[in-house]
Amino acid sequence: MTETRRCPAVKPMWKRFKGKIADQDMISFQGYRQHCRDCPLKHQCLRRVNQTDGSQVSFALSDRKAAPGFIEKMKQKIDSPMGRYIYSQRLGTVEPVFGNLESNKGLNRFTLRGKNKVNAQWLMYCMVHNIEKIATHGQQ
């Protein structure tokens, strides 16, 4: 969770407190007085319209569910019917090529520096892989 918040009028709020209250992890934010004083939306966030402090909001950190991360999103994508079909095609397309280049040809890392030199080295490895395929399987 980010430690910044914005009020309904999209004004910034500052972190007021982060810690334990009654054995629960809490974080609270407060709006600036000058933003709240003349705000047309203050009835949405202030209990009393003539309140002198800015708006305050608190969250229990343990109650909030974290947004799914990239790994969870990828799991959901792969577990869909279309994702399973697409992923099943990978074994026959890309992965054997990289496996061959890494284990049989020893391409663990590039030995040259610079974009042009690395590109030339990559193309050489690809050329060797393709020539080997032609030699082994013949032209079909």
65/72 Cα distance (integer angstroms): 13
Token pair belonging to 24: 């629960």
Alpha helices in the chain, H assignment, sequence order = 33-37, 42-45, 70-79, 81-90, 95-99, 115-137
Residues 109-136 have pLDDT tens digits of: 888 899 999 999 999 998 998 898 888 8
User: Where does residue 94 rank: exposed (0-12), middle (13-18), buried (19+ CB within 10 A)?
Assistant: exposed
Q: What is the four-CA torsion angle of 91, 96, 97, 102, rounded to 10 degrees?
A: 130
Q: How confident is the model at residue 15 (pLDDT cuts 50, 70, 90)?
A: confident
Q: How confident is the model at residue 139 (pLDDT cuts 50, 70, 90)?
A: low
Residues in the chain: 140
- The span from the first CA to the last CA of the chain, in angstroms, equals 56
The DSSP bridge pattern shows strands 12-21 and 5-6 to be antiparallel
pTM value > 0.85: no
**pLDDT confidence of residue 101:** 83
